[in-house]
Structure 1
Amino acid sequence: MSFFITLKSLIQEKISQDSQLNAESAFCEIASDYLADSSLISGFQHSYYFKEENNNSNLKIDGFCINENETVLSLFITKFNSSSDIGKLNLKDVEIQFKQLYRVLNYVIRASNHSLPKANILSFLNTEYRSIFKNTIVKIDFYLFTNDTAVNKKELDAAKVISKADEKTSIDYNFRIYDVKELERLHKNNQKLDVDVEDYFDKPINVLKPQIGNSSYGTAIAIFPGRFLYNIYRDFGGRLLESNVRSFLSTRVKINKGIKETLINAPEMFLAYNNGLCVTVSEIILNEDGSVKTFKNFQIVNGGQTTSSIFFATQDAKKTKLDVDLDSVHVIAKITEIKRNIDSVKIQSTIAKNSNLQNAVKQSDLSSSEDYLINLHTCSKKFRNPTSNNYFYFERTRGQYHLEKSLSKNEKYHLNLFPNNQKIEKTDLSILYYCALGGKIQPYISVQSAEKRYTLMKDYFDSENKKIGEEYYVNLIGSFIFYKILKTKYGMGKNAVGKIRKNVIAYSISLIQEYLLKYKKTIDFQSIWKDAGLNIPDTIIKEFLIYINELLLKNLDDGRLDEACKKKESWDKILKNIDWEKLKIIIELLPICEIKKFRKNSTLEFNLDSKYELMVDEINTVINTPAKYTLLKFRTSKERKNIEI
């Protein structure tokens, strides 16, 4: 099956989960999820806007993203093929798409005057850009998502899109095309990163590979040019860091003062002063002359601050008319080549723990087993809903659900067991934790970017994992059912309650929980799980959502509501101004219970040898061959196995 067809299936799956989406917006959401999961972007804000102009000078944008230290602005546009056959996007078509996006930057985002209403999210972006971002932005990335094949995409000339004035500024303008081939690569394995040297440096990079007589791993030493590191960070950013802690190497990392001074004043001394990098790869592919052609599955396990500082210090210097001579900068790298017969993730984590760290990394961030997520996934295969008589599927890794469905002999049977609209993702988990399930009610975290929420929640994985059992799991799924009901009733598009759905849903659940907390009670999510829904009239739910929508607009809307909802002081303000009587109507109809303390799971219930055994009897009738599931079980057991090195 071609990935073009697979994408169509994923789009239908996405629409089944949210009927308010159309095919193009669902495709855009899927593509942006792939990039966010790979840490290529830090988030995605839908902001569809189209304006038709004469002479084909149209304006179009589908979304945007600003990284957390407000230095990189990413703009997104979608070219969606709704036909049944894959097409080709030539260079001229690509230029047309990027020009539409560039016009939005010029005539909406950076414009002193625009005709957008205040409630439009792009109006907020305009305000922020003109007051703040114009002084902080060092890079603007333009992204094109298409389910067609883009031809000659490497020949795109930025000068044909942006003005000469923008070419001369200190801001870097980059154009990135994610066509069906690129999206397939991310879909298959969004954590692997292969670096082809010739794409990032115009001279050979050589390695010294001593023979150590170990069949499990190899080692090599290399000198990386500063320009090579700058270029790969420009394209991959946080993906360069070891997968379990890649959030550490986000664009929030501050430029090390000593590194910056050396780069500007004595770049030729950088090699002598810097501790260097620890890198892991799965393979080093060499050219005929012995130089490196490709680093397979390239990960910087230690040295994230060095790499990010080279990039940001260079960008920072441009703004002050200084120059970093990257050709004089070199960094030593110890490269560990991890063979297939051992646990690469465990070794990466151990290397990071034992390296001479240049910046503080929490040991909890270096956890590679992610027991909590594995146990939730196991629960999702064990506990069948008593009312619907099927399962809610917890997707531990992106694409896991679709992979299992594609392996199925009988897709209809698989969908009966695990319906599309009963898939819960890690992003849903982090939303629910802060507005419904955690020890504190913090909706201002629930509405943060998926990356930030997940990074914060990882600190609680160990403590939450100790609570997992049937009661814990069904409580989680009950909260997910409640969350989905509110999302559906709020709606999208013309018939929606408003345009701030994610904020209203998070604050709505949080306000109910905050009210009940006064009486040491909580929503009975286990009851919602048992009933697979709520027995409350739609009109009451909608009236409640309308009130919360108006409450947020009245108290927080100064043109920056989306940002305001991410602040604790905004939550405090809402708590002071809410009319609690307005909540009593819906609360009286909700199932309520005393706050429960979940018992620790038993080692018998979640012992290592039983991982995935819980699902084998039923699932093996669905999977093509037992061998394929044996492979999945083997990979999972490797994730959890202690490796002595």
Structure 2
Amino acid sequence: MPSLEEFHQDFLQSILSDSESRGVLKSQSFFEIACEDLVSTGDLTGNYTTADYSKKGMEVSGFDYDEERKVLTILNHQFFQDDELQTLTKSVLENKLARLRKFYTSAVDGLFKNIEETSEAYGMAYNIYRYAQRDQVRRVRFIVLTDGKISRNLLDIPIEQKGGIDYESRVIDLEYLYKIYETASGSAGFEVEVNLPCLRVNDNRHDYFSYLTVVNGKTLVQVYEEFGQKLFEQNVRTFLQFKGNVNKGLRNTIEYKPEMFFAYNNGITATASDVELDEKTGNIRKIANFQIVNGGQTTSAIYAAFKNSGLSVDDVSVQMKLSVVKDARLQDEFISRVAEYANTQNKINNSDFFSNSPFHKDIKEYSTRIFAPAVGGAQRRTHWFYERVRGEYLNSQAYLKADVKRRFLIENPKNQVFDKTLLSKTENLWLQRPDIVSKGAQESFKKFAEYIGDLLEKDDLAITESFYNEAIARIILFRTMERIVSKAPWYDGGFRAQTVAYSISYLSAVVQASNVFLNFDLIWELQAVPAELESVLGIIAERVYATITHPASGYANIAQWTKNSNCWESVKLMNVDLPELDSSLFIDRQTSKYKQKESKNIKSIDQGIDKQIFVIQRSREDWRKLFNFYTARNGRRILSGMQLDMLEKMASGYITTPSEKQSKILYEIFRDAQSDGFDPS
């Protein structure tokens, strides 16, 4: 595991790379990267907004609002940008917090009336004013982000209460961000203190062991109050409010028959990396890395009934099945399986199990195997590194010798690291969904997951090498557009992300209307956007910026306007006078279809070879165990006669070199058995 100092250096390199590739200030890059880290842990919602405002003793960088818990968060930052880890002093911290508090009180008093309506700060101040007027704030958090560290005695600042509202001041320093990295890497986490009676179900001989327990409604409210979305990082669904019949039933039971909740409700399915039992009572007293995999609706319903409706939950009891998986390598797959089998209360969408999709495996395999074209006189070709698991890029270097690490960094440069969040954003924009992307990373990823789920359901060969190359080209296009907007003389600041999003989608719409396809292969080969196309992007972006910053009547808040599908409809109606572009920038429909067909043929051949290798490399003993596994479980009913006969011949050694067709059948039998609990080791 990398040390704090190594993490600090890598973190600074991430900021430098992000800043250069997007054309933004390093401080802005730091703020956004840190906020995304906090979103990943549930400290912020996916709808946080960046908005700079500095004036008359006030300084703020953005805000966030948790609608369910009614928590308003106002953010500021202190970015040292120093190779040496700096210390955030008490005086600097107090000054930062004072400026945040001043902004909040001014916003509540109507500060938005004195701010330019086309600025992001206007939307921030207006929303805070509106929340206060509607009595929609229970807690206000003032958070200062820093790439330095702070003494432990300054981390726990007492919560103040005034007018029925809790005021909390927090510092998120580099050590906190490092702990997020450790948690994602499976080496650290958070603990929930409880007092729950329990029944142990199995023993330590298994990869996991379970407890059956009962959680009181008040305890559940307290735990959710403290940890919020951290409890649902691995959950496949979000709370659907009281819209579905199931949720209406939950609320009615809490209000009228709370003592029957245990009998009526399916309860909670949760996981943990460890538990600690009380030696005297045998009760569970600590749960490490507590994750509610199924039961998010139950938890949220109880919390909402108590907080929003003022209902008592003292008589509510919830059954809970808690499974402990100590091996971090097994947790993702285990949680995915639990979620798949346990979630039965409401319909599951294609996006819900996307974390277990073959899409990730394919993209990771291509990113490892495919070299990007060498450009600019480079002597060594490079990869685009797909960070499928958080912290994977840094972990890949952790135990490398100095010379091997240097080679790794040359072949996998920091500015060519990408993850599923960026990928979902760039793909959605080319699919002409800028309003969805403007709603935040969470919503964007959900829609992309649905799209990929449908795509793979129709065509399991859809994610080809050609798809991968074009996806990287779209990332290059996105970063180029960010630089263009940031450096444009007409750009006054604010709404850069929305301008970039709508500009790319507008380009996609223009190309589509011309009945041709953009030549992404050209961008891939150049590893850059051709200069001729760059100039067109600048023209489009200027018009888009002018359009989205003058919202339709009834939309005073530009940030909210860009999240509306009507905004996209208005942008599509723009008539931008574009110069005629060289034909090499486009390909016709027939060429595109031929390219896709060839890519799928190549992938099909590769898959067949991979399956043959897999089957041949398994020992005869493995096939014998597999045959016994099926026959012991009435495999004659599970498998067809042909499948069972082939498996028996493989187990007996009658098939020495299986054909491609035989390998495919045997491969699928083996994989199905593994998903059903078969383990040949």
Fold match (TM-score > 0.5)? yes
* Deviation, structure 1 residue 98: 3.5
User: Which moved further from structure 2: 39-48 or 70-79?
Assistant: 70-79
Amino acid at match of 2:65: I
Check if 1:373 corresponds to 2:369: no
* Deviation, structure 1 residue 132: 6.2
Matches for 1:104-123 after TM superposition, within 5 Å:
104-108=103-107, 111=110, 114-123=113-122
C-alpha distance 101-296 of structure 1, shift in aligned 2 (>3 A):
same
* Deviation, structure 1 residue 370: 2.6
C-alpha distance 46-492 of structure 1, shift in aligned 2 (>3 A):
farther
Check if 1:514 corresponds to 2:498: no
1:504 aligned residue:
499
User: Which moved further from structure 2: 258-267 or 543-552?
Assistant: 258-267
Amino acid at match of 2:486: G
C-alpha distance 401-217 of structure 1, shift in aligned 2 (>3 A):
closer
2:675 aligned residue:
642
1:291 aligned residue:
283
Instruction: Check whether the contact 1:68–1:252 (CA below 8 A) recurs between aligned residues.
Output: no
* Deviation, structure 1 residue 412: 3.8
Task: Tell me how far apart the structure 2 counterparts of residues 540 and 339 of structure 1 sit (CA, whole Å).
Answer: 54
C-alpha distance 328-102 of structure 1, shift in aligned 2 (>3 A):
farther
Check if 1:46 corresponds to 2:50: yes
1:345 aligned residue:
332
Task: Tell me how far apart the structure 2 counterparts of residues 344 and 115 of structure 1 sit (CA, whole Å).
Answer: 51
* Deviation, structure 1 residue 119: 2.1
Unaligned runs of 5+ in 1: 53-57, 318-322, 612-636
Compute the RMSD of aligned alpha carbons.
Answer: 3.6
TM-score (norm 1): 0.81
Instruction: Check whether the contact 1:150–1:179 (CA below 8 A) recurs between aligned residues.
Output: no
User: Secondary structure in 2 aligned to 1:295?
Assistant: strand
C-alpha distance 190-493 of structure 1, shift in aligned 2 (>3 A):
farther
Task: Tell me how far apart the structure 2 counterparts of residues 461 and 311 of structure 1 sit (CA, whole Å).
Answer: 34
C-alpha distance 47-253 of structure 1, shift in aligned 2 (>3 A):
farther
* Deviation, structure 1 residue 450: 0.4
1:393 aligned residue:
385
* Deviation, structure 1 residue 403: 2.6
TM-score (norm 2): 0.77
2:434 aligned residue:
443
**From 190, 200, 205, the counterpart of 2:196:** 205
C-alpha distance 406-283 of structure 1, shift in aligned 2 (>3 A):
closer
Task: Tell me how far apart the structure 2 counterparts of residues 63 and 42 of structure 1 sit (CA, whole Å).
Answer: 13
Instruction: Check whether the contact 1:12–1:23 (CA below 8 A) recurs between aligned residues.
Output: no
User: Secondary structure in 1 aligned to 2:324?
Assistant: strand
C-alpha distance 80-250 of structure 1, shift in aligned 2 (>3 A):
farther
Instruction: Check whether the contact 2:214–2:319 (CA below 8 A) recurs between aligned residues.
Output: yes
1:602-636 CA-to-partner distances (Å, cap 9, x unmatched) read 2624947999xxxxxxxxxxxxxxxxxxxxxxxxx
* Deviation, structure 1 residue 231: 2.5
**From 397, 412, 417, the counterpart of 2:411:** 417
* Deviation, structure 1 residue 21: 3.9
Instruction: Check whether the contact 1:11–1:23 (CA below 8 A) recurs between aligned residues.
Output: no
C-alpha distance 539-530 of structure 1, shift in aligned 2 (>3 A):
closer
Amino acid at match of 1:525: F
C-alpha distance 516-207 of structure 1, shift in aligned 2 (>3 A):
same
Amino acid at match of 2:482: K
* Deviation, structure 1 residue 286: 2.1
* Deviation, structure 1 residue 68: 6.7
Instruction: Check whether the contact 2:383–2:416 (CA below 8 A) recurs between aligned residues.
Output: yes
1:245-283 CA-to-partner distances (Å, cap 9, x unmatched) read 44x135867693333344345545433443321122232
Amino acid at match of 2:606: L
Instruction: Check whether the contact 1:74–1:141 (CA below 8 A) recurs between aligned residues.
Output: yes
1:566 aligned residue:
563
Task: Tell me how far apart the structure 2 counterparts of residues 101 and 121 of structure 1 sit (CA, whole Å).
Answer: 16
**From 222, 237, 241, the counterpart of 1:231:** 222
User: Secondary structure in 2 aligned to 1:48?
Assistant: strand
2:546 aligned residue:
550
Task: Tell me how far apart the structure 2 counterparts of residues 121 and 251 of structure 1 sit (CA, whole Å).
Answer: 29
* Deviation, structure 1 residue 113: 5.8
User: Which moved further from structure 2: 126-135 or 508-517?
Assistant: 126-135
Task: Tell me how far apart the structure 2 counterparts of residues 359 and 95 of structure 1 sit (CA, whole Å).
Answer: 48
**From 24, 27, 35, the counterpart of 2:27:** 24
User: Secondary structure in 2 aligned to 1:571?
Assistant: helix
Task: Tell me how far apart the structure 2 counterparts of residues 545 and 251 of structure 1 sit (CA, whole Å).
Answer: 36
User: Which moved further from structure 2: 567-576 or 71-80?
Assistant: 71-80
Check if 1:579 corresponds to 2:595: no
Instruction: Check whether the contact 1:241–1:304 (CA below 8 A) recurs between aligned residues.
Output: yes
Amino acid at match of 1:568: S
Amino acid at match of 1:143: I
2:628 aligned residue:
none
Task: Tell me how far apart the structure 1 counterparts of residues 355 and 210 of structure 2 sit (CA, whole Å).
Answer: 22
Instruction: Check whether the contact 1:66–1:74 (CA below 8 A) recurs between aligned residues.
Output: yes
User: Secondary structure in 2 aligned to 1:78?
Assistant: strand
Task: Tell me how far apart the structure 2 counterparts of residues 211 and 479 of structure 1 sit (CA, whole Å).
Answer: 50
User: Secondary structure in 2 aligned to 1:14?
Assistant: helix
2:206 aligned residue:
215
Task: Tell me how far apart the structure 2 counterparts of residues 17 and 80 of structure 1 sit (CA, whole Å).
Answer: 15
Count of aligned positions: 591
User: Which moved further from structure 2: 356-365 or 232-241?
Assistant: 356-365
Matches for 1:85-124 after TM superposition, within 5 Å:
85-86=84-85, 96-108=95-107, 111=110, 114-124=113-123
User: Which moved further from structure 2: 179-188 or 404-413?
Assistant: 404-413
Task: Tell me how far apart the structure 2 counterparts of residues 594 and 428 of structure 1 sit (CA, whole Å).
Answer: 28
Amino acid at match of 1:249: T
Amino acid at match of 1:604: D
Task: Tell me how far apart the structure 2 counterparts of residues 401 and 590 of structure 1 sit (CA, whole Å).
Answer: 36
* Deviation, structure 1 residue 186: 0.8
2:181 aligned residue:
187
Instruction: Check whether the contact 2:50–2:63 (CA below 8 A) recurs between aligned residues.
Output: yes
C-alpha distance 112-386 of structure 1, shift in aligned 2 (>3 A):
closer
1:202-237 CA-to-partner distances (Å, cap 9, x unmatched) read xx3332214468523322111222233223222333
1:143 aligned residue:
143
User: Secondary structure in 1 aligned to 2:52?
Assistant: strand
* Deviation, structure 1 residue 390: 1.9
Task: Tell me how far apart the structure 1 counterparts of residues 80 and 240 of structure 2 sit (CA, whole Å).
Answer: 34
* Deviation, structure 1 residue 103: 2.1
C-alpha distance 372-112 of structure 1, shift in aligned 2 (>3 A):
same
2:588 aligned residue:
594
User: Which moved further from structure 2: 487-496 or 503-512?
Assistant: 487-496
User: Secondary structure in 2 aligned to 1:60?
Assistant: strand
User: Secondary structure in 2 aligned to 1:461?
Assistant: helix
Task: Tell me how far apart the structure 2 counterparts of residues 120 and 249 of structure 1 sit (CA, whole Å).
Answer: 31
**Highest Rg: 1 or 2?**
2
Task: Tell me how far apart the structure 1 counterparts of residues 315 and 185 of structure 2 sit (CA, whole Å).
Answer: 32
1:414-469 CA-to-partner distances (Å, cap 9, x unmatched) read 33212222222222211222221x4xx22222322001100111113342563122
User: Secondary structure in 1 aligned to 2:117?
Assistant: coil
1:249 aligned residue:
238
Amino acid at match of 1:26: S
C-alpha distance 608-48 of structure 1, shift in aligned 2 (>3 A):
farther
Instruction: Check whether the contact 1:343–1:643 (CA below 8 A) recurs between aligned residues.
Output: no
